[in-house]
Structure formats: C-alpha cells, structure tokens
Chains A and B, each alone.
Chain A
Amino acid sequence: MKRKKRISTVILYIVLIFLAVIMIYPFVWSVTASFKTNQQIYGGNPLDLIPKPFTLNNYKRVLELLPFGRFLLNSMFLATVVPAISIILASMAAYAFARLEFKGRDFIFMLLLGVMMLPGHVTLIPRYALMIKLGWVNRYIALIIPAIFSASLVFKIFFMRQHFLSIPRELEEAALIDGCSQWGVWWNIMMPNSKPALAALAIIGFKTEWNSFLWPNVVINDFMKMPIQVGLTYLQSNAQSSWDILMAGTTIAIVPVILIFICFQQYFMAGSLTSGMGGR
C-alpha cells in the first residue's frame, strides 16, 4: 500500500514536470533565441538552449529597425494610467451603488450588469467611427479614453461594489457622525480598506493593457504613439524570417509582464480568481 502510494507520487511528479516543461519551454526558447545568431537558430538543434556565441546584436538591430524603446515607454504609460483612472472611476461608482441612495440606482446597476460580458468586437466599428469624428485617430487619447470606458469598467464597478459591501458599516457611520463628507468616507475609509482588491485590479489591469492589441492596432499607426504589441507586429513584417531579431522583440514584449507576475504572483492569482470575466 505504502509502496504503491510512493510510486503514484513519483508518476504524478513526472507528469507535472513534463507539463511544466511544455508550459515554460516557449518562454525559455524565445529568451535564449534572442541571444543567438541566426545561423544557430536555423542550423542548430532547437532543443539546444544555450546561445553559442552569445550575442546582444539582435537587440541592437531591433532598436535600429523600430523605436522599441518608445514602444516600451508608451506601453508602460498606458498600462499604468488606464488602469489607475478606471479603478478610481469604478470605485467611485461602486461606492455609490453600495452605500448611497439615488433615483434609479438598482435599475442603472442592472443595466450596467447587462453589458458586463459584452464582447468588445460589437462596439469596435462605432468606436472607430467616433474616433474619426472626434479627430482622435493616431492620438494618445484614443488609447486612453475608449480603453477606460469598456465592459471591463463595468466589471470593476461590480467587483468593487461587492468588496465595499463586505466592509462593516460602523467604520463609515462613525466618520459621518464626525462630520466627514461622503467623498471623505470614500477616500479615507473605503479605499484604504480595499487595498488588496485594488491591487488585484491594478495588476490584472496592467496585464490587460500591456497585452492589448486589437484596438491600438486599429487607431494608431504612428510609431511614436504605438504600444509594444502593435509595434511587434510591425517588426514581424519588417524582419521577415529573421528569427533572431524577432525573438529579441518578442522577449522585450513578454518579459515585463513575466517579471511583474513573478513579483506579484499572489495578487495575480487573487485577481483572476475573483475578476473572472472582466479581468481579461
């Protein structure tokens, strides 16, 4: 019995390690290939992961071909600003839906929930037409405002409302009696008491913005305003079959999210546990 258990544990670990190799291999390959020469990538064994000779030339050539530094900067900017604004707006609205009373509150809330799972493609064309009308095409604002006001904002409202409802009312009542305004209660009591929830939304928001592609691809074609994922597809068409260069670009586009994931793994998981539909 005991021996049987030990054997099954060994088999379980073998399967788990095998699966882990499959899951991680593409990342390891792209990072190592980015330091290889094209000769090694084409001529060598693809299972050979050690760059021989080790070269930084690919990164140099990526930066010569396209302004990748600028792409990174743009993505960093968008991936912090867009989630920050939408989280603040969402928690304001969530506070009102959780604690304040106003006409039509429950009806409006139901109306919001109705679009929580709305796929983005339905509104893609009218949003683009609106960008043309407003003269926002090829401007940063087209990457910020429409990205904030999407179905994921509704999800954030829903998520923060659930969280606020779980905070005991006594805290706010004491503050209100002391003459604190509703804005003061929201900012000084509700928000500080929601740090883990806010952090989860921020992390997931960073990931979503960093990885977003379809919308930026439609509204931006100026390199100076382009986020990294769109820039990467331009690299793909510029560097046809130069896999060394392409893997350097890919590595630049992947690594920041991986680093953040490694640092904040707990928040990431908590975020996707709870954020489910809107998190992506």
Chain B
Amino acid sequence: MGKQADSGLATTSGSPKPSNKRRAALKRELTAWSFVLPSLIGLGIFVYGSLVYSLYVSFTSWDLLTPPKWVGLANYARTFKDPNFIQCMGNTLYFVVAIVPLGIILAMAMAIALNKERPGFKFFRGAYYMPSITSTVAIGMVWLWIFNPDQGVLNTILQFFGVANPPRWLESVKWAKPALSIMRIWQVSGYYMIMYLTGLQNIPKDLYEAAEIDGATKWQQIKSITIPLLANTTVFATIMLTIEAFNLFEAIYVMTEGRPGGTTNTILYYIYTQAFERYRMGYASAMAWILFAILFVVTILQFNARRKKEEIGY
C-alpha cells in the first residue's frame, strides 16, 4: 500500500512539459493505474482467479492432498443421483419460500407503520433493526434455548396459553424447518424495513393528500398508493432476501447441523460438510456452481417480472 502510494506520487510530481504531450499522457495513465492496481490485483487473484479455479475444480476429483483428477461432468451428474443433495435442495427451497414472502411482508408493514415521527418511533426502528446486526452464530445459540422443548421460552408461553403438547421444534422433523424460518425472519426483517423506509421517503406526500380529499381510507391508500409505488424496493429486497435465504448456513451450523434426519440440511451447509469434513473439493465446487446458477437465474427472473409489470404500467 505505502509503496504504491509513493510510486504514484513520483509519477505525478514535477509539472509536465507542454512540448512532451505523449509523456504527460503516459504519466496521467500511470497515475490512474496506480490508484486502481492494488484493488485490481487483489480482486484478480482472490475473486476472478478463484472463480476460474473453482470452475476447474468442479470438473475434477480432488481431496486437497493428491493432485486433482479430471472427471469431466461426473460431479454435476452425481448431484442428480445424490439423495442428500436432492433433500438439501428441497429443504433450501422450503426456507426460501417460507422466509422471503413473510420477511418482505413484515418488513414492509413495519416500515409503513413507522414512517412518521411520533414519540417512541425512533426506538422502535432501532429495536426492529437490531437483530439484523448481530451475528447469526451468537444469536442462534440464544434461539436454541428459546426453542428448547422442555425449558425454552416459547413452549413455556405456549403451555401457559393451554397448549398441552407444544411442538418439539428443532428436534422434530415437522417443526425444525418452521422454527429456523421463524428465527431467520425475526433476524433479517429489520434490515429490509430500513430499505422500505428509504423507499417510502421517495413517495410524494401530495398523493396521499389527494387520496384523502377523495375520501380514501388509510387501508385503500396503502393498497393503491404505497404498495405499488414501493414496487422497485420490493423487487430489490426480494432479490436480496432470496439470495440470503438460499445461502442459509450459520444458523444450521449452530442450531441443527442438518438434523433431525437431514430435514434442515441446506445446500450451503452440505457444500461445507462435503468440502471441509469429507474433503470432496470437486463435488463441493460443482454444487457451489449449481447453487450460483440457481441464484443467477432467480435474480434475472425477478428483474424481468418487474420489467414486464412496468411495461403494463403497473
């Protein structure tokens, strides 16, 4: 870093002679490059280089100890026959379908409710946002206790309200996925609330005034002004949250490790275990690329859905 800065300074010090235009141009070019090169070299190795290498690894069989062996498309073919992968895919899709709509609706509702300056609202905004800044690893352990079937808070409350046999949450095949979804919705919605609060600031106030004169109720105003005009925020938030839900990992690592019976195993957690516990680098890389491809397609589809709606004029 320091050296880069010095060489950059050297290229620009001393005023360029007008007689030597080409040298001045070269100097300008070199100065510019000295600004970008540190970033570009690092990204070239750790992002672009890694991407290319990852693609190569996905076509090999590799345990990190012996040199990689080229196996062609075998790793990709294997995913289709691997019942664990298929199960993880199903689980992950469940989490996406459970987390994304509920998270978005909650975030939007919180933002609409808090988009005023009233006593205490600043506190509410802060309180709702707080879960999203804490580490999933740490707060996951707290939720592990909340979901504890025997002494946990949730079941204590449920029993208080007369539920005789409350769910065994993370231990139950039926309830483990809903429990994790609840925890994730709790954790992320505040972040998207902030996104919606920004979106709300861009809606002109006079629209509401006009609607009020026309006698529209609050709910009608929300339905026909607020929600449609937040469409861009919704698309962006949906894409972000979808990516986040597909990449569910830390909560699984801390709370269930894929149990019970693999019902909470997600693609990313499976990739992790295959790579760093079983040392199947090739297979894990192939799955990573499949996950990436899915995310890419889903993102494009969501953008296009928005564009089509825009064409209709919604």
Q: How far is the CB of A123 from chain B (nearest CB, A)?
A: 4
Interface string of A228-255 (1 = CB under 8 A from B): 0100110010000001001100100110
Which chain B residues border A210 with CB–CB below 8 Å? 135
Given the interface pairs A16-B113, A101-B28, A214-B250, the reply to whether A122 lies near B137 with Cβ below 8 Å is: no
The 8 A CB mask of B280-292 against A (1 = contact, 0 = none) is 0100110011011
| CB of A202, distance to nearest CB on chain B (Å) | 14
For window 35-83 of B, CB contacts with A under 8 Å fall at 35-36, 38-40, 42-43, 45-51, 53-54, 57, 64
- 8 interchain pairs, CB-CB under 8 A: A45-B156, A93-B39, A119-B247, A145-B42, A150-B46, A150-B47, A211-B137, A273-B195
Distance between B151 CB and nearest chain A CB, rounded to angstroms: 6
**Whole-angstrom distance from the CB of A197 to the nearest CB of chain B?**
15
Residue of chain B at shortest CB distance from A236: B141
| A78-99 to B contact mask, C-beta < 8 Å, 1/0 | 0000000100111011011100
Q: Is B203 an interface residue (CB 8 A)?
A: no
Cβ of B272 within 8 Å of any chain A Cβ, yes or no, is yes
Do A96 and B35 touch across chains, with their CB atoms under 8 A apart?
Answer: yes
Q: Is the CB of B40 within 8 A of A108?
A: yes
Bound state CA distance, A93 and B5, in angstroms? 12
- Contacting B36 at CB < 8 Å: which of A26, A92, A126, A218? A92
Residues on B with C-beta less than 8 A from A96 are 32-33, 35-36
Interface residues of A in 200-235 (CB under 8 A from B): 207, 210-211, 213-214, 218, 229, 232-233
List B contacts of A46 (CB < 8 A): 145, 151-153, 156
- Picked from A93, A257, A277, the residue with its CB within 8 Å of the CB of B35 is A93
Tell me which residues across on chain B come within 8 A of A143, comparing CB atoms. none
Nearest-neighbour CB distance to chain A for B216, whole angstroms, equals 15
Collect the chain B residues with CB atoms within 8 Å of residue A211's CB.
Answer: 133-137
Residue B142, interface by CB 8 Å: yes
Chain A's closest residue to B13 (CB) is A181
In whole Å, how far is A121's beta carbon from the nearest beta carbon of chain B?
Answer: 5
| A45: chain B residues within 8 A (beta carbon) | 156
Q: How many residues of B contact A (CB 8 A)?
A: 91
Pairwise interchain contact A179-B138, C-beta atoms closer than 8 A: no
Nearest 9 interchain pairs by C-beta: A149-B42, A211-B135, A96-B35, A102-B32, A100-B32, A123-B50, A149-B46, A126-B53, A181-B12
- Is the Cβ of B51 less than 8 Å from the Cβ of A122? yes
Q: Tell me if B's interface is mostly helix, strand, loop or mixed.
A: helix
In the complex, chain B residues 84-133 whose Cβ is within 8 Å of any chain A Cβ: 110, 113-114, 120, 123-133
A residues near B, CB below 8 A? 12-13, 15-16, 19-20, 22-27, 29-30, 33, 41-42, 45-47, 85, 88-90, 92-93, 95-97, 100-103, 105, 108, 112, 115, 117-119, 121-130, 132, 145-146, 148-151, 153-154, 157, 179, 181-183, 186, 207, 210-211, 213-214, 218, 229, 232-233, 236, 243, 246-247, 250, 253-254, 257-258, 261-262, 265, 268-269, 272-273, 276-277, 280
Cβ-neighbour of A265 out of B126, B139, B142, B289 (below 8 A): B126
Assess whether B195 is in contact with A127, with CB atoms less than 8 Å apart: no
From A29, A93, A232, give the contact of B138 (CB < 8 A): A232
B134 lies within 8 A of A258 (CB): yes
Beta-carbon contact of A250 and B36 below 8 Å? no
Give the distance in Å from the alpha carbon of A262 to the alpha carbon of B250 in the complex.
Answer: 25
Smallest CB-CB separation from B281: which chain A residue?
Answer: A125
Chain B residue numbers with a CB within 8 Å of A157 are 39
Q: Which of A121, A127, A186, A210 has the most CB of B within 10 A?
A: A121
